[in-house]
Chains A and B, each alone.
Chain A
Amino acid sequence: MADLSTNFAGIRCPNPFWLASGPPTNSGEQVMRAFDAGWGGAVWKTIGEPIVNTSSRYASVDWNGHRMMGFSNIELISDRPIETNLREIAEVKKRYPKHAVIASLMVESKREAWHEIVKRAEDAGSDGLELNFGCPHGMSERGMGSAVGQVPDYTCMITEWAKEAARTPVLVKLTPNVTDIRVVARAAKRGGADGLSAINTINSITGIDLDTFTPRPNVGGLSAHGGYCGPAVKPIALHLVQQIAADAEVGIPISGIGGVATWREAAEFMLLGCTSVQVCTAAMHYGYRIVEDMIDGLSNWMDEKEFATVEDFRGLTLAKITEWKNLDLNYRILARINREKCIGCDLCYIACWDGAHQCIHLDGHAKPAEVEAASRARIAVTPIAKLDAPGETSGGTPTARVPRVDEAECVGCNLCWLVCPVPGCITMERVDTELPRESWEERTAAGGR
């Protein structure tokens, strides 16, 4: 079995799966149950001067009958006294010495306040600190959270203050609500950060109730923008993580956050260079138990790929992301439809006609409207079993419904392959253009376009 043990800037834990700072890490009792379930670490719900929350606080985007594809919250940091949180951290650390407890911190932007909270958190036994410069709602109106993380100078300054007092590794949690996340990441590095957590939630208005015209979550008829997370944000998070992971000036460990729900997303974040990943929405949706398959799945995948440790694959994909100008313009693929597997939904046909390049055809018809008109004009009757000859209802896909790709016209865009509901039915296949590799940069340098 693969070795999942993780060392994040000196913070050691049995696996790279951490619970992100949030409701699942609100109390010692919860964190201990999470460790029992298998989580390798927990970033404590942000500790600071206790706040008062609203009711309600969460909203979600459901998609095609699936709940919580996207999730948003307007909850603030911990509403419990600082001393309670610290006492419970001490208790957790005493009982779970091998698991990582990272204290997420947020206090007003004063040097003394930061010195004090850092010392107290470390005295309680935290293995590391995460500076919450990312929370985009509520706290930012009070000059904290993303109000800090959106200004590189503040990020650098407060990181420095924390580092002045800290003996354990300091992580800075970055907000995605900036134009260029690398600028803030570099500022954190300049301030002395030992690691980064990315990303915090994305500014969002989740949706609007079409009966009351009130946005969600509804707080007495009003709402405020929230922080968006969950499966929907993963591609954005991966991109931002890649931006900082590939940046030569940053160069410190990253804890990846944003839409991690299974071992698959975890592997993706780690392939882009993350040392650990953090999970919140999925644990809120299904409970701590999801970590079992995260551990099991990642371990099995690593065995299959012959990776002995997480360091063996961490960052492997970074070299495969480049700028557009470096892509090979002579690389050609085109769509092939496997007639045996085609179920005749003809989604590829209409997608190509309306959304792409009009190079998938149904034989005998020139345009989509003609296909439909022919079907509508046909007289259909209920087949009476055993009296009528068997019609198209039996057997495989009627030949007339299997589309054909005009290979000379196909641009290899992937759209048909993406819409096809049947695995392996449409394949994108390499065509040898017999031309050497040539990027746009090379071509324009040579005088082409």
Chain B
Amino acid sequence: MNATALPIPENLERFPELHRALDAQAAIAEANRCLFCFDAPCTAACPTHIEVPRFIKKIATGNLRGAAKTILDANVLGLSCSRVCPVDVLCEGTCVMSRYNKKPVEIGRLQRYAMDHYYAGGARISEARARGSGRVACIGGGPASLACAAELRRNGYAVTVFDNRPLPGGLNTYGVAEYKLRPSDSLREIEMIRGMGVEFRQAAVGAEISLEEMEREFDFIFAGVGLGAIERLGIPGEDLGGVIDALRFIARYKTSGDLAVGRRVIVIGGGNTAIDAANAARRLGAEEVHVFYRRGELEMPAFDSEYDHSKVEGVRFHWLAQPVEIVGRDGRAVAVKFAMTRLGEPDATGRRWPEAIAGSEFEQPCEMVIPALGQSRVTEILRSRGIELKGGLIVVERASGRTSNPKYYAGGDCVNGGREVVDAVADGKRAARAIIASMKPEAMRG
């Protein structure tokens, strides 16, 4: 795939940005609202601990280069995070302003302002801080690996990122809704990291290069492999035409212009990905988009902000209904048969399990079905290297990201089961620091 062809032109029109950029005057006014809290809660709440008041004050003083550097020092994916972070449950959610009836400072948009300025100015990077000697491989080209690679490279280590897709960036390039982050912005971050001296190689680890080979070539290996495809529904009709899982659907509309959604679309699931897919289906021309979730509104895992936005997009939500069959005609899906559910007692995870109600089945007609359940696990390959897994996720020591095999570190979705970009960046950064510490323990002790 040609990176310069993205974003595809139609998407610029169909997916105008959800949050408009601040202009210079608005940015300064907003920056000046920041109280400059000491030990600011926003900084503590950010998984990467960006020094938020510090960069905001730099915007206020017109030191935009310094603002960008402050952000990037803590979070090399400051650009994508400024667009995709669910700020209302992170930095902005902890802003002290809301405790005295004032609107939280728009930290996300201010960060974007600093980042846009930085990238518009050619994304100048500073030289590596130190000359480390050591080679590290990062498996997977998503946010966790990118953050790990950048942190290591900044400290002088040689890093190679392996990704099996044509373009690196993982979900940042292929999986984030277009109105939040364009693939071109994700790729600008990759170019910046490449400019730091990180090497990128397209290769399927396990097939084209084995872990044994990697172990010989590299001192440490960081697994940022993310999660796999969307889990199958396990009901009849799943392979009919017109059924496409949410991640494939999103990647497809972001990278090609030939996706026809039909008049009526059904999305199955209640997470943020389900919502991204539902909104996209609306923007791509579907008249009716129905999200079906097997639990209730209160149990839905999507962020409130995403849910609210989706309602504005015109998406209709249906609760307590689980699919039992995708009904086909001439090889294409024409309806989904649902059964109503009721919530039972909380299970071991504390969540109330939905039980189907006998005789409650109904059919909802459609032209497209988008399953958006959780993602599968792709960590099995690591078990052979003595790495402990639990429920398909890699078990790590939380503070360092170190796995049960001391040569391997891990972070991101393959460890946490699927959280935000900023969580993956934090994991990658922590792992990089732990790797550096183990390569030169004396330096880190001081």
Contact = CB atoms under 8 A, between A and B. Distances in A.
A71 to B, nearest CB: 19
Contacts of B36: 347
A421 B100 CA distance: 10
A349 B96 CA distance: 15
B44 A378 contact: yes
B422 interface: yes
A380 B46 contact: yes
A395 to B, nearest CB: 9
Interface string A363-401: 000001001100110111111111100001100110001
Contacts, number: 98
Contacts of B86: 382
A397 B99 contact: yes
A422 B100 CA distance: 8
A441 interface: no
Contacts of A401: 39, 41
Contacts of B299: 386
Nearest to A393: B93
A441 to B, nearest CB: 40
Given A375-B43, A386-B298, A392 B37 contact: no
A345 B419 contact: no
A375 B44 contact: yes
A382 B38 contact: no
Interface in B380-413: 398-399
B45 interface: yes
B2 to A, nearest CB: 33
A186 to B, nearest CB: 44
Nearest to B35: A345
A51 to B, nearest CB: 36
Contacts of B419: 381-382, 384
* B29, B43, B99 interface centre (most CB from chain A within 10 Å): B99
Contact of B35 (A347, A375, A380): A347
A311 B303 CA distance: 63
B188 interface: no
A392 B95 CA distance: 11
A368 B301 contact: no
* A341, A371, A385, A421 interface centre (most CB from chain B within 10 Å): A385
B38 A346 contact: yes
A391 to B, nearest CB: 9
A64 interface: yes
B89 A380 contact: no
Contact of A393 (B94, B351, B423): B94
B32 A347 contact: no
Contact of B94 (A376, A387, A392): A392
A343 interface: yes
B300 interface: yes
A344 interface: yes
Contacts of B43: 375-376
B230 interface: no
Contacts of A393: 45, 89, 93-94
Nearest to A66: B32
B106 interface: no
Contact of B422 (A344, A382, A422): A382
B300 A386 contact: yes
B420 interface: yes
Given A349-B38, A393-B93, A380 B303 contact: no
B90 interface: yes
Interface string B18-45: 0000000100110110011111010111
B286 to A, nearest CB: 26
Contacts of B398: 379
A109 to B, nearest CB: 46
B46 to A, nearest CB: 7
Contact of B49 (A344, A349, A362, A376): A376
Interface in A386-418: 386-387, 392-393, 396-397, 401
A221 B210 CA distance: 68
A65 interface: yes
Given A344-B96, A368-B38, 4 more contacts: A65-B60, A368-B39, A382-B85, A383-B89
List of 3 A-B pairs having minimum Cβ-Cβ separation, nearest first: A350-B38, A343-B99, A346-B38
Interface of A: 64-65, 341, 343-347, 349-350, 362, 368, 371-372, 375-376, 378-387, 392-393, 396-397, 401, 421-422
Interface of B: 25, 28-29, 31-32, 35-39, 41, 43-47, 49, 60, 85-86, 89-90, 93-94, 96-97, 99-100, 298-304, 351, 398-399, 416, 419-420, 422-423, 426, 430
8 contacts: A64-B32, A350-B38, A376-B44, A379-B426, A382-B423, A385-B304, A386-B299, A421-B35
